[in-house]
Structure 1
């Protein structure tokens, strides 16, 4: 039904029922669902010439979210642009672009930590990534010798996974930024771009060094 509107433009329930060979009741049931989930919106039908009696029928049109559900070929365009950048300026230019793209991580992390200082560093980072569409969360790693081995940052979604499959610089720059905001070396264990179900990054517990007093006692 959404594709019919995409291909033919906004339409009334009656027009859709005729076009799709469905009953009016079935069409209205589907339309109610599509409006509820934000795929479609109902608009007043424009009336040209003399107006008939009664309220004008509603027409249903795709929302921006509804259009985004269809293939937009943005990934193909991004890959072609990065290929051109690599061919004309070299791989270093691609990496610089990738670093600039993830600059939001450090910028937004600093702001969030200042606003909510009670958040742990990893939790704040997950919030920043989630706000950018990465659906990130943090989970603890199994205990080793009775001590926490660290945490694991899990990103359930990657907005650029199809592009990163050909240009790993995108993942590399993201990992660098994560390490900088957390102030420790982190290790990427899996990425959606390379066929894994989730992007996972190991965040080790910082190594504790003794104080000067501790060293003097030893």
Structure 2
């Protein structure tokens, strides 16, 4: 017997996508983004939580503390991430396993180097078009990554001294879990694209809810401050 389609499945998918991209996020924030009632969002969140696709975030947050009971903040689980997974991950992992078997660790290093070059060539036009402002360049990179399925966003870090490039989804997560060198190559590519020393704080491949890259707003690589004019 064919099941009856769930008319609210599309809304839950949009909520899950937003949680992947912007989590940790509260039900009130989701309601504002989706122009839905708080009650409707909470109903969908309850179903997503019941399905094991989201979970309450119990880590620290960079947002200022508020009085009263803190709002529940949600992130996507591994199962939720898998909804938007890459069907070619197994093939890619097998291919890299063959590279290692045939060429040894040097084969993976060579592949990683090629990946750095490929990422730079792919994203440089968008980043360069954003001009010299570091935040604008990071935003341009995030938009380009999102178009490639990374659900990327840029956020202010603690005390406003850094930016955080967050990737809520990773199309190559399974491959990167098996070969962390790929994450290192991606970090190196972003360093070259943004022209500042960036640091990887967390990865989906490492079990975190999001890949996070910190970008200093004061850089010594170019020898000048990247703060906007008028900032202290």
- Measured against the shorter chain, the TM-score band is 0.5 to 0.7
Could you tell me which residue of structure 1 aligns to residue 92 of structure 2?
Answer: 78
User: CA 1:70 to 1:186, structure 2 compared with 1: closer, same or farther past 3 Å?
Assistant: closer
Distance 2:176 2:106 in 1: 15
Please identify, of 78-87 and 90-99, the stretch whose mean Cα deviation from structure 2 is larger: 90-99
Distance 1:164 1:114, change over 3 A: closer
Deviation by residue 1:22-47 (Cα, 9 ceiling, x = unmatched): 7xxx5xxx39999xxxxxxxxxxxxx
Q: 1:190 aligns with which of 175, 199, 202?
A: 202
Matched position secondary structure for 2:150: coil
Instruction: Check conservation: 2:86, 2:171, Cα contact below 8 A.
Output: no
**SS of alignment partner, residue 202 of structure 1:** strand
Aligned to 2:219: 206
TM-score (structure 1 length as normaliser): 0.58
Are 2:132 and 1:96 aligned?
no
Q: 1:132 to 1:70 in 2, by over 3 A?
A: closer
Query: How many corresponding residue pairs?
Result: 151
Higher relative contact order (CA 8 A, sep 6+): 2
Displacement of 1:95 after TM fit?
A: 2.4
1:134-161 per-position Cα deviation (integer Å, ceiling 9, x unaligned): 1111111122xxxx42111100000011
Query: Shift of residue 125 of structure 1?
Result: 1.3
Distance 1:131 1:79 in 2: 23
Task: Give the conservation status (yes or no) of the 8 Å contact 2:120–2:193.
Answer: yes
Partner of 1:124: 140
Cα deviations by residue, 1:35-79 (Å, 9 ceiling, x for unpaired) = xxxxxxxxxxxxxxxxxxxxxxxxxxxxxxxxxx79986322222
- Structure ranking higher in strand proportion: 1
**2:77: which partner in 1?**
none
Q: 1:209 to 1:106 in 2, by over 3 A?
A: closer
Point out 4+ residue stretches in structure 1 off by more than 4 angstroms. 31-34, 69-73
Gaps of 5+ in 2: 10-82, 225-232
SS at match of 2:178: coil
Alignment check: 8 A CA contact 1:98 1:170 kept: yes
2:194 counterpart of 1:178? no
TM-score with structure 2 setting the length: 0.55
Q: Which has the greater radius of gyration? A: 1
